[in-house]
Amino acid sequence: MKLSNYWVGASGLSAAQNAMQVAQQNITNLNTSGYVRQSVVLQSNHTGGIVGNGVLTTGIERIINDAISRQYNSQLATVSYYGYQADMLARAESLVGTNTLSTALNNFYDVWSQIYHNPMDTNGLNSLISEIGSLTSQINQLTSGLEGMQSQLRSDLDVQVSEVNNLLSQIANINEQIMSSGRNTPNGLLDQRDALISELSQYVPVEVSYDSGNTNVVTVRINGLIGVDGETFHHLGVETDSMTGAVTGFTLNDRRTQLQTGVLQATLDTGKYIDNYQEQLSDFVNNFAGTYHSILDDVLSDILRGESFFLVSPKGHIELNPIVSENVGEIQNRLIDEEILAGIVGLQKTSNLLGQLDKLTLTVASDVSKVNTSLKANYSLFEALESMKSSIEGVNLDEELITITALQNYYAANSKTIDATNKMFDMILALL
């Protein structure tokens, strides 16, 4: 018997106490966002002879799976991409769907038909002016709504770029703290870093690698370009069209990068959808104004003083020329000609204006359906990965309680080995 025999049992007691402390830490952080459960790393102490000399606590490790984490962050970027698009396109669909433009256009056609059948009705032109006011109001409301969405997208993009740079800066700062901590890096720092990387993945696709000299220090790449290198981070910026000022892409450390997923790219791509809707609406406005200008501007040229019946702004807003309202009686007299009225009424069939509105509505609905289908498919995969990640990293209360019971038995068993060693020494001493 040797006095060092006491150490064997004592090392077990120490290991049990360390493991109990970790279990307590896990349980108290059951609902802490970003917390990764921990486990004691034990190693047999082989010093002190053939048998060994107890057990050593060599560290406290976080329970993670790098492969699952990479897949999770990648899928998070994809889901965030389609999620943002789905939200914004739903707004566009609401704008188009709640707009009664088709109804207003049909009412406009009906008044022309009434004037054609009763050209001597002095209220006909006043009714037409009223319906034109309703029609142009609907057009301008939709035009302004789409303009507002473009402004919101640009505002969102500025906020998102700022947030990405903030996250890159925080990750670099944590890298610096990890480098300063030496070999005993607090697990809390690593939890913070991983949470920041996941948050960053919502905005941009992220690739993470680890420093060969200190595997706790990360290098973060965005589409192959370095965003964080040790304690240094590089700024993400936007690239704009020199003529229009529109955002066309992104730069990282002054090098152009093309993103594929994440909210930043979603914002940029959503702008292209809205561009298409604005272009279709603008085509409708110009076609509508041009269609009626072909007859009315000629018939009323002297009254309009060389101007057009409808006035269209460069941004697509339209209004009735005020001269029309100022000369109702004179214009009424011009529009009693049956041939002129027949030509105007016939424009309803030849212009396909209602077809253009239907096309716009169908385009928006199709885009919404396509994006929602992609979101649903990718979200199912994301939920599966999230569940796998949570089962690995998250705290399971039942498991921790089982662990505590096992540790109590482990502690008691090691106590008994110490008691047995005491008795053996007492027996030896009694023989002397």
The pLDDT tens digits for 68-127 are 999 999 999 999 999 999 999 999 999 998 768 999 999 999 999 999 999 888 788 999
Q: What is the pLDDT of residue 348?
A: 87
- pLDDT top residue among 168 and 121: 168
Q: Within 13 A of 274's CA, how many CA atoms are on the CB side?
A: 27
Instruction: Report the alpha-carbon distance of residue 212 to residue 89 in Å, rounded.
Output: 45
User: Which residues touch 294 (CB under 8 Å, ≥6 apart)?
Assistant: 347
In 3D, which of 103, 140, 132, 133 has the Cα closest to residue 357? 103
Residues 36 and 187: beta-carbon distance below 8 Å: yes
User: Starting from the edge strand earliest in sequence, which strands make up the sheet with 247-252, in order?
Assistant: 236-240, 247-252, 255-257
- Phi/psi of residue 316, each to 5°? 95, 5
Long-range contacts: 346-350, Cβ < 8 Å, 24+? 347/291, 347/292, 347/294, 347/295, 348/109, 348/112
Q: What is the pLDDT of residue 2?
A: 62
Q: Which two tokens stand for residue 297?
A: 């501007």
Instruction: Report the alpha-carbon distance of residue 216 to residue 178 in Å, rounded.
Output: 7
pLDDT, one tens digit per residue, over 248-295 is 999 998 899 989 999 999 999 999 999 999 999 999 999 999 999 999
Q: Which two tokens stand for residue 181?
A: 């901590």
Q: What is the pLDDT of residue 51?
A: 75
Residues 230 and 169: beta-carbon distance below 8 Å: no
Instruction: Report the alpha-carbon distance of residue 52 to residue 49 in Å, rounded.
Output: 6
- Detail the DSSP E strand segments found in 98-165: none
| pLDDT cut 70: percent of the chain above it | 98
- Largest CA-CA distance found in the chain, in angstroms, rounded: 139
User: Which residues touch 234 (CB under 8 Å, ≥6 apart)?
Assistant: 168, 225, 226, 227, 228, 252, 253
Q: What is the pLDDT of residue 422?
A: 83
Residues 70 and 249: beta-carbon distance below 8 Å: no
Q: What is the pLDDT of residue 350?
A: 84
SS3 for 3?
Answer: coil
The residues pairing with 222 across neighbouring beta strands, listed in sequence order, are 206, 225
pLDDT tier at 183, thresholds 50, 70, 90: confident
User: Which residues touch 43 (CB under 8 Å, ≥6 apart)?
Assistant: 55, 56, 58
pLDDT, one tens digit per residue, over 191-230 is 999 999 999 999 999 999 998 888 899 999 999 999 999 9
In the predicted model, what is the mean pLDDT of residues 42-68? 87
Residue listed under structure tokens 């005993």:
184
Strands 236-240 and 232-233, sheet pairing: unpaired
Count the helices and strands in the chain (H runs, E runs). 12, 11
Instruction: Report the alpha-carbon distance of residue 163 to residue 202 in Å, rounded.
Output: 11
Q: What is the pLDDT of residue 181?
A: 87
In the predicted model, what is the mean pLDDT of residues 303-312? 94
Residues 265 and 79: beta-carbon distance below 8 Å: no
Q: Is 224 left (phi over 0), alpha (psi -120 to 50) or beta?
A: left
Instruction: Give the CA dihedral 86, 90, 96, 99, nearest 10 degrees.
Output: -170
Instruction: Report the alpha-carbon distance of residue 70 to residue 80 in Å, rounded.
Output: 15
CA distance to 177, 215, 231, per residue, from 182 (Å):
9, 11, 15
Would you say residue 50 has pLDDT above 80?
Answer: no
Q: Is 66 left (phi over 0), alpha (psi -120 to 50) or beta?
A: alpha
Give the number of other Cβ atoms within 10 Å of residue 126's Cβ.
14
